[in-house]
């Protein structure tokens, strides 16, 4: 009786292991399908920016990053090092490719804080197995710039004239345009989709006076635009200060201050 129980136990165990072995053999081995990405980075800034030509950009020096969700596939690789070669990775959706000429931090930090133009683009896409996936990043101006001009009458009549401006949320990063630098200086600002408030103050010292006349206002910057501010004073005995605001080569607003001054007093 004891022997029969032992034989029954052994037969049950053998059947169990045999079933488990068959199940494992029938399950296909899990393997991740691969796909190839062919990347092209294009500089479109020369087409979009008409007020001042952007120069010194070479897409070969642009930084390229690839991620999928929280996983970073690679970051800050020079486009010139990967151009013309496929990028192999697992097939699937949710891939994000980014190309940029510099980071947002660098765009406001360089040139003694005046900043520089930043070109960038990114795109979400899906990598297909076997079939090559072609991705083109059209890098365009990603930040906004501001430069200033003073009218001939102001430059001729006044010995001291300037305009100081800064982003309302970062007053410590302030820029002053005056007769010594306005002709070649440009300030750059990172601007989100909601826009960014720019505070500015015009300061003009009339002949024979020591205290300047000041005029302050706010301008909302929109992303990826070039702003040109023209400070003007009418060539009359009674004049008002006005600010012409040109965006990407088109005059969009002329703001006139209410105070009347006599520039010949």
Contact call for residues 201 and 168 (beta carbons, < 8 A):
no
Instruction: Judge whether residue 69 has pLDDT over 90.
Output: yes
Q: Is residue 135 very low, low, confident or very high in pLDDT (cuts 50, 70, 90)?
A: very high
* Higher pLDDT among residues 236 and 36, named by residue: 36
Instruction: Judge whether residue 143 has pLDDT over 90.
Output: yes
> What per-residue confidence (pLDDT) applies to 98?
95
* Residue 66 CB contacts under 8 Å (≥ 6 apart), including other chains: 37, 72, 73, 74, 75, 87, 89, 95, 96, 97, 98
pTM confidence score? 0.79
């Amino acid at each position: 009786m004891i022997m029969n129980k032992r034989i029954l136990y052994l037969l049950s165990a053998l059947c169990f292991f045999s079933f488990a072995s068959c199940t494992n053999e029938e399950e296909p081995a899990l393997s991740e399908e691969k796909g190839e990405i062919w990347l092209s980075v294009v500089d479109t800034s020369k087409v979009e920016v008409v007020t001042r030509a952007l120069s010194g950009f070479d897409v070969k020096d642009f930084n390229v990053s690839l991620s999928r969700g929280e996983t970073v596939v690679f970051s800050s690789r020079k486009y010139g090092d990967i151009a013309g070669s496929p990028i192999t990775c697992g097939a699937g959706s949710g891939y994000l490719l980014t190309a940029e000429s510099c980071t947002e931090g660098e765009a406001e930090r360089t040139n003694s804080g005046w900043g520089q133009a930043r070109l960038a683009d990114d795109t979400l896409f899906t990598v297909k197995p076997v079939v090559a996936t072609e991705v083109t990043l059209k890098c365009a101006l990603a930040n906004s710039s501001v430069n200033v001009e003073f009218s001939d009458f102001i430059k001729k009549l006044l010995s001291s004239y300037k305009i100081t401006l800064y982003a309302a949320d970062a007053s410590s990063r302030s820029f002053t345009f005056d007769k010594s630098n306005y002709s070649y200086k440009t300030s750059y600002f990172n601007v989100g989709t909601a826009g960014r408030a720019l505070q500015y103050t015009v300061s003009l010292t009339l002949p024979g006076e020591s205290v300047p006349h000041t005029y302050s206002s706010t301008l909302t910057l929109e992303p990826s635009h070039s702003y040109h501010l023209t400070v003007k004073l009418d060539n009359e005995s009674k004049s008002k200060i006005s600010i012409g605001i040109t965006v990407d080569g088109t005059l969009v607003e002329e703001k006139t201050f209410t105070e009347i001054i006599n520039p010949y007093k």
